[in-house]
Chains A and B, each alone.
Chain A
């Protein structure tokens, strides 16, 4: 034996050594090793420091239940992964692992002072200690606790890896490829079911990997499954969550074990919909609770067997077993056979199966029945144990370098529990096992309590002569919860395990209490003197083991984070230096700065161009709905506030849409194309919402109406030409439409041809100028825009963005729903009385207009505001007060909703919602802003061309 590597045995490749480092020190392992097995082979026992007391910790388990040996792997910038279980990290040449939660080093950790002060850190310590003074919460307590607590460091650099994702479907999903899972797969292999078999380890086999007698079977089975065309095998793959209707979240790790990352995705998220699920998650061995049970070198008995038989590593040269269950004896016999030195078997039971006694005797192993370990000597590794007789507490010391705990077994019911399957208590196992399913799922093998590990005694903790309030006998190793913490919680009045869990944090660590829940329950049960089944069971929640955010995000990062919708003209805007803004999911050009211009200058120039010649604007994002059918006009008449039935084909109307509560939810100009066909427009952000709302009414309230709605938002690219020269520019390009003022008045629509392409041409204006909105099939949007730019050069045509559009409409007092309204504004509040059909018997929201609070005086109403200093542009959102001398806190009577510099007027303008505003015209109001309180006079809403002379030309 070299170091702790056994001469023979294991599934590691003895011909292939692997160099890696831990805390900067170089080590050699073998291909097939985990970081845990490779370090143990090198005699390393100390892996990390515990969460709260900073106690030295080693490896306790060999699988994903490991609570102690948490390490970080550093693969370069952005590829730092904390809190990995050393038992699940496969080594590769160049692996760089580091320990956590220690300073300045793993062996010398200043934080370990917490361990000496342990008596001051009982359960509920934080809740009790850091209550007062309140002012210390943010500045002192939280920063200090955050610095001390926690495990590995969170990565700071952006993750350069990419992650794949997919949906997958199967008739049978098998979770866990131990003997039970493999048997299930073999059993269904010859059916026509599509089978997916997942296992979190790097090879199939589960517990069989630690039992060489099963290897020939394993190899045959593996080959049969690989050859079966209907079976998909996914290793290094964790089923982390079980959701409704057999929907299972699964993550496959693709590159973490490779020395070179290449270009492949790091992990893949599989969202699996399974017809039937077989859970074969196995069982986890239970630690025993005694003083010093967290000393590096104290571990699960089954883990020692795995290290020996799977990895060819002895966990010690003189190993002691502390058992309450037969399975530990079998483990020790297997270890002895593998060449591991056994110092003694200690069993808490008075009697065990004579076959076990005979085998121990045959192997020459000393046995101490009715004894318990009462203490462990050694801080960074085990040097000896003190054992005592359970009756007279007479003790003795046994020198050893590892202690194995065999406390019985806990079925892994995590996924079963996610699926809301019920559990039942089995006294003989001292464990909960699956009872009734809630989904189409069965549990097989260890996770159903079906195992052949022998029998054992169920105990809460080992008997000890020591003062139980002075010892540290750990229950939850990851969260540093001891037996006395749980007893304290019970003494302080907690009765339900849910409360005890939260008070002590038992089972709340990243390992989800895989090794601690049942011991915690047993201790609480004893302390309360009630059966375990009477104090409840805590819930398991996804994820089964911690998963990376990257895996859960899948493709959704960078450009694929979420769709940014772009118009057909977007590329032109991009090429011409547009500054963009996001409006709903759309990317829109906000303004087009020329060299040296800031936003203010660009917007002023764009506004002036529209008012003096012609501007061009990409309005494609406006929502459009085509309403078709014999009842189209009747339908719109019921939806909108104003009358629609008499609207003639070829004419447009402004439509105001309320919700049932009488508040404005959307608006837009719509056109009647034919008696049974309307072209509606909505706001950009409201398009989907309005279509849904209309469909909802149509399908649930008025299913008798023969009318259908189709979203045509993306059927048309829309180019707005606005300004006194708009008609002159358009005239030579259009066929079949008389553009004259007489033939084509404001608020009309004509169908014809523009530049050879069919168009729906609206004469509408959101600027107060002569204007047209040209709708063409979307794919022609860019070409038409370029043609108009070329043709418009003679008029200095100027592209303008959403910011200039906002200024121009505000000058005319046109509202923007969602900016000048906030979901509590009625048509009357917004000064849109004219858009409400007084004679209409009904429309959506009409009844609410008679509600007492809607007819009451003092509602916030939309008004114009003109600052006394014309150069002051108020902040949008600024609060408004009537009297700035009133005591603080002042009564705020409203707020500014829109505010701009108007180049056309040579001064600032603003819109505001003010309580009773309509009665205040001419009054002075006060607007406190940083540095100064400004004054402004209440005005009407229309600031520019109030008589509309510029429109009707």
Chain B
């Protein structure tokens, strides 16, 4: 039994193309929930500068709350997990998938069910919000490109929601 196990993703791995937008599954990555009372403690552990403003993101780390950060990095990266400092580093690499919405209609498609004003959502901004009833994290990677992180079990539903909105 030397065959390696293969990953099974909840949405098609081929890109969905509609007028003005493409929707595709981002490749596997490592994700961590980082929690600490003091950002400095995480900076000591990771040797990076943590973004301090809620909604800001820097170097793959998004500040989602007063004591909460979301780290995304490439698959296979080595991440410290124990430190002795009062921090919590939890592996949630497979908790979510990331859908990439790209194209001039990307914001419009997201706004079909997300109440955020994306006209006033700067590039680099990240936030935890909802699409209809489902929690998502939206990261604006570029003017016309968004990353949407959502829990796997909702992904099949969300794929239909996105592609339906894209068709309309």
Quick check: is B89 within 8 A (CB to CB) of the other chain? yes
Interface string of B5-39 (1 = CB under 8 A from A): 11111100000000000000000100001010100
Known contacts A555-B132, A732-B1, A783-B5, A566 near B90 by CB under 8 Å: no
Partner of A708, one of B6, B67, B116, B164: B67
- A–B complex contacts, Cβ < 8 Å, 5 sampled: A555-B164, A629-B87, A708-B33, A708-B88, A779-B9
Stretch at the interface among A43-51, A159-167, A542-550, A762-770: A159-167
Q: Contact string, B140-168, partner A, CB cutoff 8 A, digits 1/0?
A: 00000000000111101110110011001
Q: Nearest 3 CB-CB pairs, A to B?
A: A565-B153, A708-B35, A628-B88
**Interface assignment of B40: CB less than 8 Å from any CB of chain A:** no
Nearest opposing residue in chain A for B153, CB measure: A565
Instruction: Determine how close the nearest CB of chain A comes to the CB of B80; give it in whole angstroms.
Output: 13
Residues of B within 8 A of A167 (CB): 111-116
Q: Which residue of B lies closest to A247 (CB)?
A: B115
A707: chain B residues within 8 A (beta carbon): 88
Which residues of chain A in 239-281 are interfacial with respect to chain B, using CB atoms and an 8 Å cutoff? 264-265, 268, 271, 273
* Cβ-defined contact, A555 with B161, below 8 A: yes
Task: Kindly specify which of A137-145, A422-430, A467-475, A709-717 makes contact with the partner chain.
Answer: A709-717
Looking at A556-564, A598-606, A832-840, the stretch in contact with chain B turns out to be A556-564
Q: Verify B133–A714 contact, CB threshold 8 A.
A: no
A555 near B113 (CB under 8 angstroms)? yes
B109-146 Cβ-contact flags toward A at 8 Å (1 or 0): 00111111101100000000000111000000000000
User: Does A479 reach chain B (CB closer than 8 Å)?
Assistant: no
Contact between chains at B90 and A712 (CB < 8 Å)? yes
Q: Let me know if B82 and A559 touch, CB within 8 A.
A: no
Is A559 a contact partner of B168 (Cβ separation < 8 A)? no
**Taking A562-B133, A629-B86 as contacts, is the C-beta distance between A778 and B112 under 8 angstroms?**
no
Q: Contact between A757 and B5 (Cβ–Cβ < 8 Å)?
A: yes
CB-CB < 8 A to A629: which residues of B?
35, 86-88
What per-residue 1/0 map shows which CB atoms of A765-782 lie under 8 Å from chain B? 000000000000111111
- Is A568 an interface position by the 8 A CB rule? yes
Instruction: Say whether B37 contacts A168, CB under 8 Å.
Output: no
Given contacts A779-B7, A780-B7, contact A710 B33 (CB under 8 A): yes
Q: Is the CB of B115 within 8 A of A273?
A: yes
Residues 914-942 (chain A) with a chain B CB within 8 angstroms: none
- Tell me the total A-B contact number using a CB cutoff of 8 A: 138
CB distance from B156 to the nearest CB of A (A): 6
| B119 and chain A: residue at smallest CB distance | A169
Q: Answer whether A710 and B35 are a contact pair too, CB < 8 Å, given A715-B91, A779-B7.
A: yes
CB distance B112 to A563 under 8 Å?
Answer: no
Partner of B92, one of A706, A715, A787: A715
| A787 and B96 contacting across the interface, CB-CB below 8 Å | no
**Are B153 and A787 closer than 8 Å at their CB atoms?**
no
Q: Is B94 interfacial (CB 8 A cutoff)?
A: yes
Contacts of A755 in B (CB 8 A): 1, 4-5
A565 to B115, alpha carbons, bound, how many Å? 22
Residue A953, interface by CB 8 Å: no
Contact A568:B82 (CB < 8 A) given known A563-B154, A710-B90, A791-B1? no
Q: Which residue of A lies closest to B31 (CB)?
A: A715
Selected contact of B35 from candidates A563, A567, A628, CB within 8 Å? A628
A560 to B132, CA, bound (A): 10
Q: Closest chain B residue to A783 by CB distance?
A: B5
Q: What separation, in Å, do the CA atoms of A781 and B156 have in the docked complex?
A: 16
The smallest C-beta distance from B115 to any residue of chain A, in angstroms, reads 5
- Can you name the residue of chain A whose Cβ is closest to the Cβ of B85? A630
- Determine if A706 and B1 form an interchain contact, defined as CB atoms under 8 angstroms apart: no
Q: Please, how many angstroms separate the alpha-carbon atoms of A913 and B78 in the complex?
A: 52
Chain A residues whose CB sits within 8 angstroms of the CB of B35 once the complex forms: 628-629, 708, 710
Give B44 Cβ to nearest chain A Cβ, in Å. Answer: 15
Across the interface, A273 reaches (CB within 8 A) one of B9, B117, B156, namely B117
Is there an interface contact between A168 and B28, defined as CB atoms closer than 8 Å? no
Set of chain B residues within 8 Å of A559, measured between Cβ atoms: 157, 160
| Interface check B93, CB cutoff 8 A | yes
Interchain CA distance A628-B67 in the complex, whole Å: 14
B154 contacts A712, C-beta separation under 8 Å: no
Binary A-proximity of B43-54 (CB < 8 A = 1, otherwise 0):
000000000000
Cα separation A791 to B86 with both chains bound (whole Å): 43
**Interface residues of A: mostly helix, strand, loop or mixed?**
mixed
B36's nearest neighbour on chain A, judged by CB, is A708
Q: Which residues of B contact A778 (CB under 8 A)?
A: 94-95, 152
Tell whether, in the assembled complex, residue B133 and residue A563 are in contact, meaning their CB atoms are under 8 Å apart: yes
- Count residues on chain B whose CB falls below 8 Å from chain A CBs: 50
CB distance from B94 to the nearest CB of A (A): 4
A560 touches B5 (CB 8 A): no
Is B8 in contact with A164, judged by CB distance below 8 angstroms? no
Given A166-B111, A555-B161, A714-B151, 5 further pairs, Cβ under 8 A: A559-B157, A560-B160, A566-B153, A708-B35, A756-B5
Rounded to whole angstroms, the CA-CA distance of A555 and B164 in the bound complex is 8
CA distance A166 to B165 in the complex (A): 9
Quick check: B112 and A165 within 8 Å, CB to CB?
Answer: yes
Q: Mark A166-189, 1 if CB is under 8 A from B, else 0.
A: 111100000000000000000000
A571 to B155 CA separation, bound complex (whole angstroms): 14
Flag if B95 contacts A715 (CB, 8 Å). Answer: yes
Is A331 an interface position by the 8 A CB rule? no
B-facing residues in A448-483 (Cβ within 8 Å): none
Docked-complex contact B96 and A714, CB < 8 angstroms: yes
Q: How far is the CA of A563 from the CA of B131 in the complex (A)?
A: 11
Select B115's contact among A271, A568, A710, A781, beta carbons within 8 Å.
A271
Which interface residue of A194, A629, A674, A791 has the most chain B CB atoms within 10 A?
A: A629
A626 proximal to B (CB < 8 A): yes
The distance in angstroms between the C-alpha atoms of A164 and B111, with both chains bound, is 12
- A807 at interface by CB-CB < 8 Å: no
Residues B90 and A783 in contact, CB atoms below 8 Å apart: no
Do the beta carbons of A715 and B154 come within 8 Å of each other? no
Q: Are B113 and A563 neighbours in the complex by a CB distance under 8 Å?
A: no
Cβ–Cβ contact B1 & A783, under 8 A: no
Interface residues of B in 68-116 (CB under 8 A from A): 82, 86-96, 108, 111-116
CA of A706 to CA of B86, assembled, Å: 6
CA of A743 to CA of B79, assembled, Å: 29
Complex-state Cα separation, A733 to B4, whole angstroms? 12
Are A586 and B94 in contact, with the CB atoms below 8 A? no
A169→B117 contact, CB < 8 A: yes
Q: Are B165 and A555 touching (Cβ within 8 A)?
A: yes
| Nearest B-chain residue to A269, judged by Cβ | B112
Shortest distance between the CB of A191 and any CB in chain B (Å):
15
- In the complex, the chain B residue whose C-beta lies closest to that of A628 is B88
Q: Is A784 an interface residue (CB 8 A)?
A: yes
Find out whether the CB atom of A560 lies under 8 angstroms from the CB atom of B8. Answer: no
Q: A787 contacts which chain B residues (CB < 8 A)?
A: 1, 5
Assuming the contacts A167-B114, A555-B112, A628-B88, asked whether A560 and B161 have C-beta atoms less than 8 A apart, the reply is yes
For B158, the chain A residues whose CB sits under 8 A away are: 563
Q: Mark A377-388, 1 if CB is under 8 A from B, else 0.
A: 000000000000
A443 to chain B, nearest CB (A): 25
Tell me, in angstroms, the Cα distance from A716 to B152 when the chains sit together: 10
Q: Is the CB of A568 within 8 A of B168?
A: no
| Residue in chain A with minimal CB distance to B96 | A714
Contacts of A566 in B (CB 8 A): 10, 153, 156
Q: Which residue of B lies closest to A169 (CB)?
A: B117
Please, which residues of chain A bring their CB within 8 A of the CB of B157?
Answer: 559-560, 563-564
Q: B92 and A168: CB pair below 8 A? A: no
A250 nearest CB across to chain B (Å): 14
Instruction: Tell me, rounded to whole Å, the shortest Cβ–Cβ distance linking B138 to chain A.
Output: 13
Question: Shortest distance in angstroms between A149's beta carbon and chain B's nearest beta carbon?
Answer: 37
A754 to B: closest C-beta gap in Å: 9
Contacting residues, chain B, for A626 (C-beta < 8 A)? 88, 90
Residues of chain A within 8 A (CB-CB) of B7 are 779-780, 783
Q: Residues of A contacting B108 with CB < 8 Å?
A: 166
Q: List the B side residues contacting A674 at CB < 8 Å.
A: 82
A84 to B133, CA, bound (A): 32
- Picked from A560, A756, A779, A782, the residue with its CB within 8 Å of the CB of B4 is A756
